[in-house]
């Protein structure tokens, strides 16, 4: 059985990927991700977001660069493929089917 914290992390990771794909350059900093997550009822600290970005980077879904006290993340091809439902990255919620 999956616990609530695991579900929140999996959903937050998907929200982060979706926020990145909406940007012209598919790049966003960690401070700007916090309001994206809050819109879905996920209220977490910058450090928590940094931990999730590090995890996403380890999985190859994003690349990250530290800039001062924030992290800048960019979507990768693998992250795109997850969003397009071509692959499934374990630990990230699956996106809904188009029109679903």
Give the β-pairing of 70-75 and 27-29.
Answer: antiparallel
Q: Say if residue 94's pLDDT is above 80.
A: yes
Q: Is residue 33 part of a domain?
A: yes
Q: How is 85-96 classified by DSSP, letter by letter?
A: TSS--TTSPPPP
Q: What is the CATH number of the domain that holds 62?
A: 1.10.10.10
How much is the pLDDT for 97?
81
Q: Is residue 16 part of a domain?
A: yes
Q: What is the mean pLDDT of residues 28-49?
A: 97
- Give just the sign of the alpha carbon dihedral 82, 72, 55, 57: positive
Q: Is residue 96 part of a domain?
A: no
Q: Is residue 14 part of a domain?
A: yes
**Which pTM does this prediction carry?**
0.94
Q: Say if residue 52's pLDDT is above 80.
A: yes
Q: Say if residue 45's pLDDT is above 60.
A: yes
Q: Say if residue 28's pLDDT is above 60.
A: yes
User: From CA 27, how far away is CA 63, in angstroms rounded?
Assistant: 9
Could you give the percent of the chain with pLDDT greater than 90?
Answer: 93
Q: Say if residue 99's pLDDT is above 90.
A: no
For residue 75, what are the domain limits? 4-83
Q: How many domains does the chain have?
A: 1
């Amino acid at each position: 059985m999956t616990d609530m914290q695991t579900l929140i992390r999996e959903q937050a990771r998907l929200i982060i990927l979706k926020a990145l794909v909406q940007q012209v350059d598919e790049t966003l900093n960690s401070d700007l991700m916090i309001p994206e997550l809050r819109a879905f009822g996920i209220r977490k600290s910058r450090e928590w977001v940094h931990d999730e970005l590090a995890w996403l980077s380890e999985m190859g879904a994003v690349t990250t660069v530290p800039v001062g006290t924030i992290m800048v993340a960019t979507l990768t091809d693998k992250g795109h493929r997850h969003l397009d439902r071509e692959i499934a990255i374990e630990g990230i919620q699956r996106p809904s089917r188009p029109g679903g």
